[in-house]
Chains A and B, each alone.
Chain A
């Protein structure tokens, strides 16, 4: 799956990025920040070496506000003897799954950007061979993670942020569909959805409809959708391109859309309204985990705790444009104003999906591709 379809960064935050560079450049000293307790500093001074962290490419490389650069600088400031090295293998976490499946070592320490789908695939394909290790209990900041965002019953994947799948619609040409029922009815031929086999948004939207209509009813719902003219395109990029060029006024995307939109000068915000059918939004939390073969396990632990720290969690909404996963984050004025949270977040747990998701997606694909 192309993860850029999952996470995307704002467009005109060049100025913001430049700001970060400036701040970093003027602060070259090794003093720890005031938010860190003195008890930590001894450990921080001792932990050393290179920490290899793999992630999807837009986490470090998106054209505007990707968190990679900032996270590296902050982490190295707190752990002066450590070096953080980003890796962005093209196949993302599947790269490591395949290595493990072939009996090869994984020399990377941490992966950032896991979702529940990945975990299910990993567990089904690898069985007893452990790719990641459970570690939730040993993290000192784990207590701050919101309960309803944890998605790994084994405590391997630690949530660090979440997005909500929602509708984005052009308020100048359509009204908010309001309900799932209306969406498959009069609004179906205004709607663009992504392929559930290919794009994370498309898959989440499909699971959302299964959640709403049940495994026995979702295919009927989709039959109504297709009969009434819904358009299913490949990637999130293609779908959003079609939406922004006025092909159709409703697209399945993220509820943080307005954060990006307002950053672009001259945008008509009415064209970027958020719709939560039935008051719901489908939560898609993102997690990070430590590899079982990690070469630098102590530093990896420190990194995971660092990612959950108040400082990083408060910055994630600006740089990754996702909701923080902890209760102590202060997302900032911009995010509070433009990011929308659904009244009723819904999602499927690991146990609900395991053994089902592949079948649900395949049946859906066979029906829609007909």
Chain B
């Protein structure tokens, strides 16, 4: 047998082994180190006996996460609809940019929100022109929820859009020709194809907002403390036992939810179809009916909401970077240039940060994409209860507190792993950062590809296999093209996660020049004005926006073949 053929036969198994190895070293081992600090059953009983922790902390955390999830879905779904069903100039660019909020460091979001929704914010200025005055909209629960929707509605929109791009329109047409009304056809035919994606988006949002930390305190206030805030306080006092107990609870809850969802999803996946999305509508309809007109008005109103919730804070951040106490200024950008030119070796240089971010982003994409596709493909085949459990475990990287992962990486990787014979093996620098980013990013690839893979007609794969294709070849040539939209969305997420990642990066970059753009934003904050940090933030936004468009264009070339 030719070596190439041998390799191809075992490609899936080899990739699975490599994926497991990366996960074991960069995720499970570090997390196990910190979770081992959690006490026995008694410490968990203590937590549950503590009324304050259960009601005020755990209870409130779940409550705000549920509200945030509802808001994100409500804000994200219309977006998915518009992006999937309408054709307009710049549609693909807009789709590429949807994930932009996802990469914004929390302090930039705080600055953007205060500068837009605040007492003296842009929104109040604009409303003032119309004679309205609403005052500050911040420091309450709605502010937290809107900020969470700012981060997560794009996620819901993007995941749902990917599913919508691969529905089979012929089924809708069949239903219509059999006498089903538009609404009936949507509910019975289209909705079941979209629901897994919508629920995936909701699940991810819930877990994310359940573990939210800086935003809740900085746009809400300490009375809105979450579990993660409490864990931070404990870690700060080096009270690792109680911190680990809470973190284990937090992770257990997220994983249980993921598992329950995956079982549900497995029961739903049944359709057999090809990706053949319906033709898109144009903004100005050919024949004007009342329904069409009403729909356009709705889309316009939604556009206004998007402009306020997403456009407002982002534009305000950029405005902040060119505004000094006496008006327009470019000196914060001059600072970036000067730091690049004359900064000392131990100082943070913007150019280095941009370069690192891009390199890590591409590296992450190249590692996380195969990892995610392999896990999705394997999980898709194992339809048993255990298969779901393994899949839920594979999703663990976003179900563990970022603070705890960081702590584990410091103690397990930066300080070194004690091994027999060779001694302490330290993991750090650029390669470790890429691997850590890939670990954080691959669940998004799994979640973007998995639900869609479940709906691919098994017979197409079986035909390919009967004709002599290896399992790997069938995946590559038959299945993946059918779920291309999911793969491209997964790639975009992987890139975005890498650009936005902070907790692991700062720890693994210790003592090296492997810092990234969000780290640079953070370091430029040591100051009474927000100028340098917002200028660096604007650089981050521009660089990421351009990269998203490029990633999507390259992906689109393959997607639309």
Q: Hey, which bits of chain A sit against chain B, CB under 8 A?
A: 1, 4, 7-12, 14, 18, 21, 57-58, 60-64, 66, 68-69, 72, 85-91, 94-95, 97-99, 102, 104, 121, 125, 195, 197-198, 226, 231-235, 237-238, 240-242, 244-247, 257, 260-261, 264-267, 358, 361-362, 365-366, 368-370
Is the CB–CB distance between A66 and B221 below 8 Å?
A: no
With A10-B527, A98-B415, A368-B223 known as contacts, the answer to whether A246 contacts B238 (CB < 8 A) is no
In the complex, A233→B140 CA distance in Å? Answer: 11
Could you list some 16 contacts between A and B, CB below 8 A? A9-B526, A10-B527, A61-B347, A63-B531, A63-B532, A68-B346, A69-B347, A97-B238, A102-B411, A197-B232, A231-B139, A231-B221, A234-B214, A257-B528, A361-B237, A370-B56
B146 at the interface (CB under 8 A from A): no
Is the CB–CB distance between A369 and B325 below 8 Å?
A: no
Chain A residues in 8 Å Cβ range of B111: 241
Is the CB–CB distance between A241 and B110 below 8 Å?
A: yes
Chain B residues in 8 Å Cβ range of A12: 331, 529
Is the CB–CB distance between A235 and B218 below 8 Å?
A: yes
Is the CB–CB distance between B527 and A64 below 8 Å?
A: yes
By beta carbon, the residue of chain A nearest B60 is A369
With A4-B525, A68-B346, A370-B56 known as contacts, the answer to whether A14 contacts B331 (CB < 8 A) is yes
Is the CB–CB distance between B346 and A60 below 8 Å?
A: yes
| Choice from B347, B410, B527 contacting A8 with Cβ under 8 Å | B527
In the complex, A61→B346 CA distance in Å? Answer: 8
By beta carbon, the residue of chain B nearest A56 is B526
| Choice from B221, B236, B523, B525 contacting A237 with Cβ under 8 Å | B525
Min CB–CB distance A213 → chain B (angstroms): 19
With A69-B344, A369-B56 known as contacts, the answer to whether A233 contacts B218 (CB < 8 A) is yes
Is the CB–CB distance between A233 and B222 below 8 Å?
A: yes
Is the CB–CB distance between A9 and B527 below 8 Å?
A: yes
In the complex, A153→B534 CA distance in Å? Answer: 43
Is the CB–CB distance between A63 and B335 below 8 Å?
A: yes
Interface string of B210-243 (1 = CB under 8 A from A): 0000100110011101000100110011110000
With A69-B344, A195-B222, A231-B139 known as contacts, the answer to whether A14 contacts B510 (CB < 8 A) is no
B162 at the interface (CB under 8 A from A): no
Chain B residues in 8 Å Cβ range of A10: 527-528
In the complex, A231→B324 CA distance in Å? Answer: 27
With A89-B511, A233-B222, A241-B110 known as contacts, the answer to whether A366 contacts B325 (CB < 8 A) is no
In the complex, A64→B335 CA distance in Å? Answer: 9
Chain A residues in 8 Å Cβ range of B416: 104
* Other A-B pairs, 7, CB within 8 Å; known A61-B526, A63-B526: A4-B522, A68-B346, A94-B238, A238-B218, A247-B119, A265-B324, A358-B237
B326 at the interface (CB under 8 A from A): yes
In the complex, A294→B232 CA distance in Å? Answer: 31
B101 at the interface (CB under 8 A from A): no
Is the CB–CB distance between A57 and B528 below 8 Å?
A: no
Is the CB–CB distance between A8 and B415 below 8 Å?
A: no
Chain A residues in 8 Å Cβ range of B221: 231-233
Chain B residues in 8 Å Cβ range of A66: 526
What 3 A-B pairs are tightest by C-beta distance, nearest first?
Answer: A266-B326, A234-B217, A58-B526
In the complex, A8→B525 CA distance in Å? Answer: 8
In the complex, A232→B220 CA distance in Å? Answer: 9
By beta carbon, the residue of chain A nearest B53 is A366
- Max count, chain B CB within 10 A of own CB: residue among A60, A98, A241: A241
Chain A residues in 8 Å Cβ range of B246: none
B57 at the interface (CB under 8 A from A): yes
Is the CB–CB distance between A198 and B233 below 8 Å?
A: yes
In the complex, A59→B549 CA distance in Å? Answer: 38
| Choice from A4, A98, A197, A266 contacting B410 with Cβ under 8 Å | A98
Chain A residues in 8 Å Cβ range of B217: 195, 198, 233-235, 238
Interface string of B83-124 (1 = CB under 8 A from A): 000000000000000000000000100110011001111000
B357 at the interface (CB under 8 A from A): no
Interface string of B29-58 (1 = CB under 8 A from A): 000000000000000000000001000110
Is the CB–CB distance between B223 and A366 below 8 Å?
A: no
B487 at the interface (CB under 8 A from A): no
Is the CB–CB distance between A234 and B218 below 8 Å?
A: yes
With A4-B525, A233-B221 known as contacts, the answer to whether A90 contacts B507 (CB < 8 A) is yes
Chain A residues in 8 Å Cβ range of B548: none
B506 at the interface (CB under 8 A from A): yes
By beta carbon, the residue of chain B nearest A4 is B526
Chain A residues in 8 Å Cβ range of B346: 60-61, 68, 85-86, 88
Is the CB–CB distance between A104 and B222 below 8 Å?
A: no
Is the CB–CB distance between A245 and B524 below 8 Å?
A: no
B188 at the interface (CB under 8 A from A): no
Is the CB–CB distance between B236 and A264 below 8 Å?
A: no
Chain B residues in 8 Å Cβ range of A89: 510-511
In the complex, A91→B524 CA distance in Å? Answer: 17
Is the CB–CB distance between A90 and B528 below 8 Å?
A: no
Is the CB–CB distance between B52 and A246 below 8 Å?
A: no
| Choice from A58, A69, A125, A241 contacting B238 with Cβ under 8 Å | A125
In the complex, A69→B342 CA distance in Å? Answer: 11
With A94-B238, A198-B233, A370-B52 known as contacts, the answer to whether A240 contacts B225 (CB < 8 A) is no
In the complex, A210→B374 CA distance in Å? Answer: 57
Chain B residues in 8 Å Cβ range of A242: 114, 118, 138-139
Chain A residues in 8 Å Cβ range of B225: 365, 369
Min CB–CB distance A80 → chain B (angstroms): 19
Is the CB–CB distance between B528 and A365 below 8 Å?
A: no
Is the CB–CB distance between A61 and B510 below 8 Å?
A: no
With A9-B526, A241-B114, A358-B237 known as contacts, the answer to whether A91 contacts B410 (CB < 8 A) is yes
For window 443-462 of B, CB contacts with A under 8 Å fall at none
B272 at the interface (CB under 8 A from A): no
Chain A residues in 8 Å Cβ range of B238: 94, 97, 121, 125
Chain A residues in 8 Å Cβ range of B325: 264-267
In the complex, A261→B214 CA distance in Å? Answer: 27
B171 at the interface (CB under 8 A from A): no
B348 at the interface (CB under 8 A from A): yes
In the complex, A234→B232 CA distance in Å? Answer: 11
In the complex, A246→B531 CA distance in Å? Answer: 17
Chain B residues in 8 Å Cβ range of A358: 237, 239
By beta carbon, the residue of chain B nearest A368 is B222
B530 at the interface (CB under 8 A from A): yes
Is the CB–CB distance between A245 and B119 below 8 Å?
A: yes
In the complex, A191→B223 CA distance in Å? Answer: 15
Chain A residues in 8 Å Cβ range of B526: 4, 7-9, 57-58, 61-63, 66
B338 at the interface (CB under 8 A from A): yes
Min CB–CB distance B323 → chain A (angstroms): 11
With A69-B344, A198-B233, A368-B222 known as contacts, the answer to whether A260 contacts B410 (CB < 8 A) is no
In the complex, A289→B461 CA distance in Å? Answer: 67
Chain B residues in 8 Å Cβ range of A7: 526
With A95-B510, A98-B410 known as contacts, the answer to whether A238 contacts B523 (CB < 8 A) is no
With A260-B528, A266-B326, A358-B237 known as contacts, the answer to whether A235 contacts B136 (CB < 8 A) is no
In the complex, A72→B221 CA distance in Å? Answer: 40
Is the CB–CB distance between B214 and A235 below 8 Å?
A: yes
Is the CB–CB distance between B525 and A247 below 8 Å?
A: no
With A11-B528, A247-B139, A368-B223 known as contacts, the answer to whether A57 contacts B523 (CB < 8 A) is yes
In the complex, A229→B222 CA distance in Å? Answer: 12
Is the CB–CB distance between A261 and B528 below 8 Å?
A: yes
In the complex, A306→B279 CA distance in Å? Answer: 75
| Choice from A8, A94, A125, A247 contacting B118 with Cβ under 8 Å | A247
Chain A residues in 8 Å Cβ range of B233: 197-198, 361-362, 365
Is the CB–CB distance between B232 and A90 below 8 Å?
A: no
In the complex, A285→B214 CA distance in Å? Answer: 27
